[in-house]
Every structure is written in C-alpha cells, then in structure tokens.
Amino acid sequence: MTASEDNPAPCAQPGISAYRRGCRCQGCRAANTAKCQQGHERRVAKAADADFEHGASGYKNWGCRCPVCTKANTAAGRGAVQRFAAKHPGTEAPNRYTRWTPQETRLLLSDALTNSEIAVQLGRSYTAVATKRSQVRKAKETTDADA
C-alpha cells in the first residue's frame, strides 16, 4: 500500500501521543477519534448527574441540547457575526463575485482611504479589499523592481 495525503503511511506505534506529535495515519486518527468520543460521552454522562448553569457553555461543554442551551448558543454565534460586521463595515457586499475594474484597482493604490472606507465605497467586503490591495501592491513592487 502506498502512502498518500489522504491515507498516510502507518507509524510504528499508532496512538494518541503520536497523533499529538503530528502523525495522521489511520491508526493515530482512530485513537484520537476514540479519545474525543470518550471525553464527550464522559461530559454528557456527568451533565446528567451534575448541576450546571444552562446557557451557551452548557451547550458547548456539557453537550446539553435543551431549548435554553440551544437558544443561548445560537445567540452567542449571532453576536459574533454582528460584532464582526460592525468592526468591518462593507461585509454586505453587493459587488461580490464581480471582476475588479481598472478604476477600482487604481483606488486600491491610494493611501488616502482605509480598507474599510474603500470597501463601503466599492460595495465589496473588507476582506476582499484587503486581499486585492495586497496583491496589487505586490504586483506593483515586482514591476517597479523589474524596470
């Protein structure tokens, strides 16, 4: 059997310690999966006997799926999305999946505006503007160095 990225060669001593050292052979992955399942089962069994505070931590740490824990976990995730959107305006990008025009690319080279301001102005996400700006500047540096 040949080793591939999806199925690496088995190590000499498969187990959780080899997995922690970075081995991803089938034996080590199976050992890690079993350990994680045991931990989850232990927390769920402990939750049945223990008195814990219901909420987002009950959903994540104890595996509780009661309506209170489920609602709190959903609200916590929604809050994180809203905080990101507030910190990075322009994430609602109407120009998503459209090609960059030459005018937009020239605007990215301007240091007068921040990534957030350009994102709002162009109707693109903050991440798209930051990534494209980095790519354009690197390409400009390369062409300037070649000239």
Structurally, the chain folds into a number of domains equal to: 3
Domain membership flag for residue 92: no
Q: Which of 101, 98, 100, 90 is nearest to 124 (CA)?
A: 90
pTM of the model: 0.40
Residue 16 structure tokens? 């959780």
Domain membership flag for residue 130: yes
Q: pLDDT tens-digit profile of 53-112?
A: 888 888 877 778 888 888 988 888 887 777 877 776 655 677 878 899 999 999 999 888
For residues 45 and 55, membership in a common domain is answered with no
Q: Which of 71, 95, 92, 70 is nearest to 81 (CA)?
A: 92
Domain membership flag for residue 95: no
d(CA 3, CA 82): 44
Residue 25 domain boundaries: 8-49
For residues 82 and 65, membership in a common domain is answered with yes
For residues 45 and 58, membership in a common domain is answered with no
For residues 121 and 133, membership in a common domain is answered with yes
Contacts of 16 by beta carbon, 8 Å cutoff, 6+ apart: 28, 31, 32, 35
Domain membership flag for residue 94: no
Q: pLDDT tens-digit profile of 95-122?
A: 878 899 999 999 999 888 898 889 888 8
Handedness of CA 39, 15, 3, 22 (dihedral sign): positive
Domain membership flag for residue 19: yes
